[in-house]
Amino acid sequence: MFKYFSKIKNKKIDILNTSINNLLETFQKSNIEEWSYIFGSKKEIIKRNIIAGIFRGVGIGIGVTIITAILIIILRKIVALNIPVIGEYIADIVEIVQRSR
């Protein structure tokens, strides 16, 4: 009789162990530790947001500068082609940009 109950007990323990292991894997995949750390500390949230904002701002500034420089180079080459209507219009735009610097 005791053997029967010990087998049932062992099966339940095995099921519990696999459930705990599955739960642990799920927590590790979903970064529960990191989320609980963030929610626990308001200073950490503020610090991360400030750093992220700074990097976003710098990235946007650099990106806009590079795209604008590329556009100006392209526009200058179009002006050099002397296309009648487009060339005059783009020349005006390039002059305005150069004056504003």
Domain of residue 22 covers: 1-30
Are 8 and 47 members of one domain?
A: no
3-state secondary structure (DSSP) of residue 46: helix
Are 25 and 64 members of one domain?
A: no
Are 5 and 51 members of one domain?
A: no
Are 52 and 92 members of one domain?
A: yes
Q: Which of 50, 95, 49, 60 is CA-nearest to residue 75? A: 95
Residue predicted with more confidence, 98 or 85: 98
pTM confidence score? 0.47
**Does residue 2 lie within any of the structural domains?**
yes
Give the DSSP H/E element, type plus range, for residue 29: helix 2-29
**Does residue 36 lie within any of the structural domains?**
no
**Does residue 53 lie within any of the structural domains?**
yes
Mean pLDDT rounded to a whole number for the chain: 82
Are 57 and 86 members of one domain?
A: yes
Q: If you average pLDDT over residues 75-92, what whole number do you get?
A: 76
